[in-house]
Chains A and B, each alone.
Chain A
Amino acid sequence: MKETPLSNCERRFLLRAIEERKRLDGRQSYDYRNVRISFGADYGCCIVELGRTRVLGQVSCELVSPKLNRATEGILFFNLELSPMAAPAFEPGRQPELLVKLNRLLERCLRNSKCIDTESLCVVAGVKVWQIRVDLHLLNHDGNIIDAASIAAIVALCHFRRPDVSVQGEEVTLYTPEERDPVPLSIHHMPICVSFAFFQQGTYLLVDPSEREERVMDGLLVIAMNKHREICTIQSSGGIMLLKDQVLRCSKITGVKVAEITELIQKALENDRKVRKEGGKFGFAESIPNQKISAFKMERAPVDTNDVEEQAEEIIMKADPPSDFVAKPILRMPGTAQIGEGLENSWGDFEESEREEEEEGNSDDATTSGGQKMETEEINIVSKTKKDDDTIILSDSEEEEVVILEPEETHKKTRTHTTTKQENSSKKAFNKKRKKKRATH
């Protein structure tokens, strides 16, 4: 689907509001939206919500052979996907360049900064190493995907546990989670991206832009930093000219924000660890709250499922068996065959067309007869088509070779089976068409 265009009215309003230092949701210029982190039942699965932007992160691991030029290091693989449920503009086939940009930024932030110790992922040098794969899915797009994605990635990596491996001489033993507790990955530091949106050629600056603000911004500056105030990645896009002191100011703000977010992440991980140790309930079912719209509540009606199976079997036995209809391929010409007629035509009201069909039995256009029968009582129509075999119709068809298949004896007794009935009737119509065409040649 095409993206909803931004109207002039909204653009003007947003820019005026920013000049007055007002944001749509009432935040200050340097305020972040609420960050919520919730963990799934598996290790390495988490959902991060930044306001209404939601990202799901999942980490998995696999034993593979290492890259040839890095025989003692494990492999890290990052993948961010923009799901079509995030925004109508994201289509499953065509992925925008935004996706390439985000993936590249994530890779630089997490891989090049060496936040994960890849040497520790080596099991047998040159033969087997761990490949850690981080999959991020954007569930809802309300601006600032990169921040949410980087938080989700690092949280998922911190939360993940890989199976334990022990090497004794030549022997390598891989323990299942039941035999030995899985071990966490060794993570040196936690890089987190912070985004800054610039407006009016760099005059105004907003942290954590929402989707509307992203649409009207001039440029974007992303700084990835860890809590030790080390810059991991810095990227400026949009082509705006930034002054040195602007960039320095942004990096100071980033330091403060990253410290807050890192603290939040530590607390969330600690809570989850405690809950799991104490044996309490964990997982998405607990942490994601129910959102209620209607104020009505219905009492749970107990459903008696004891004899459902018998009931179902009874019904199946009472229903007539389906005919042994084997779809024979219809040979149009050498090299081309067809099985079935395809979906029925949904133009127009089917009741009307059925009446029409009964009236004009000798229609030239044989295709209409096949497509529109959706009623179960088709006996009349079936018998009618049989009568029309002797009309000669001139057609422009250039098919020389025509294979006439034996018309199947359709079951005349009432069967409530629309599917095969329809196929039968369409086959009959097709046969009728075939016979007509043959008559012309």
Chain B
Amino acid sequence: MTHTPPVVCAFCARGPCCARALGSGKLAGLREGLTMAAAETGALPVEERVGQVVLPGDVLLLPSHPEADGERLWLGPGAALPGRLVCGPGLRSCGAGLLVTKCGLLRHRQPGGAGGGSGGAYWVDSQQKRYVPVKGDHVIGIVTLKAGDIFKVDVGGSEQASLSYLAFEGATKRNRPNVQVGDLIYGQFVVANKDMEPEMVCIDSSGRANGMGVIGHEGLLFKVSLGLIRKLLAPNCEIIQELGQLYPFEIVFGMNGRIWVKAKTIQQTLIVANILEACEHMTAEQRTQAFAKLSER
């Protein structure tokens, strides 16, 4: 009996839902046949593709060494236990390897500590503007509704997140936080899956605010793409360091693509905002030129 990989729809990545919609026999049979053929002929080992552009439908073969605990692929965010491989965003498990579902660059990270050959995380670095709530992400939200015990916060996803008034530092039933409709909130998600409305809080697990909560009243909020946010939040990002040498300013990054900036004057705030928006399409040399021009003034 031949084993065929379960046909996974590359569009919604939820199983063969669209494969069903393909309807009558020949086309679906062809699709499965091609998947098999691709798995046999066109797939490359995943180590070779790290750092290259991958397209949806590409199959990446994983190195096959048997694991003691059986289950090799672990889907989910968070750090991989040693010996376990984390299949990150943009990838799906299929048979002997990983099926790419988003186009972008393939990245790999070795697990810290016990490292070695096995384990680590693979993911696809793709460009996107629309945000999908993910548990643990810190985001900037706009309060749209005050309803009894909860606030409804718009985070840019398909549903508004709910935020309880007790989820602030030092908030009790008598001591309510001072939050109005239209305020900016910096918080993180505690519940964020595709079947329920997301929930966010403004305290961390130990009960401290840690920078979260209502963001100040001045300053400017603007939107950029998600890829730029991740680039800016990478450790030792040069853009932020160079900007910091220009003027002092406060900045908050939300993983949903929103950035809040506040500098001493309106002009400086606008300059910082425009530079960050333009950084996406500028190369490093253009950026240094732009900074040089600004620091002359």
Contact = CB atoms under 8 A, between A and B. Distances in A.
A320 interface: yes
Nearest to B269: A13
15 contacts: A4-B156, A5-B182, A6-B182, A7-B221, A8-B182, A9-B219, A10-B220, A293-B280, A296-B52, A298-B53, A315-B29, A322-B26, A374-B15, A377-B1, A418-B20
Interface in A2-28: 2, 4-13, 16-17, 20, 22, 24-26
B30 A312 contact: yes
Given A22-B270, A319-B33, A416-B32, A296 B53 contact: yes
A16 B218 CA distance: 10
Contacts of A294: 53, 105, 127
A25 B30 CA distance: 52
Interface in A277-310: 291-296, 298
A184 to B, nearest CB: 39
Interface residues of A, number: 51
Interface string B158-186: 10000000000000000000001011100
A350 interface: yes
Given A315-B37, A350-B15, A374-B16, A419 B28 contact: yes
B25 A418 contact: no
A429 B257 CA distance: 47
Given A4-B156, A10-B220, A22-B266, A419 B23 contact: yes
Given A4-B154, A9-B215, A13-B219, A344 B266 contact: no
B195 interface: yes
Contacts of A17: 266, 270
Going nearest first, the 6 A-B pairs with the smallest beta carbon separation are A322-B25, A315-B33, A319-B29, A8-B182, A7-B142, A419-B20
A26 B29 contact: no
Interface range, B side:
35 or more
Contacts, number: 129
B281 A293 contact: yes
Given A8-B182, A374-B16, 8 more contacts: A5-B154, A10-B221, A12-B218, A315-B37, A322-B29, A346-B14, A416-B29, A419-B22
B127 A315 contact: no
B160 to A, nearest CB: 8
B295 interface: no
A189 to B, nearest CB: 38
Nearest to A24: B270
Interface of B: 1-2, 4, 6-7, 14-17, 19-20, 22-26, 28-30, 32-34, 37, 52-53, 105, 127, 142, 144, 154, 156, 158, 180, 182-184, 195, 215-221, 227, 260, 266-267, 269-270, 273-274, 280-281, 283
A22 B180 CA distance: 27
Contact of A9 (B24, B30, B221): B221
Given A5-B142, A10-B221, A294-B105, A417 B29 contact: yes
Contacts of B14: 346
A311 B52 CA distance: 28
Contacts of B142: 4-5, 7
Contacts of B227: 293
A344 B274 contact: no
A42 interface: no
A321 B25 contact: yes
A13 B220 contact: yes
A139 to B, nearest CB: 15
Contacts of A6: 182
Contacts of A440: none
A1 B157 CA distance: 10
Contacts of A350: 15
Contacts of B15: 346, 350, 374
B159 to A, nearest CB: 10
A17 B266 CA distance: 7
Given A26-B270, A418-B20, A8 B180 contact: yes
Nearest to A291: B281
Contacts of B183: 7-9
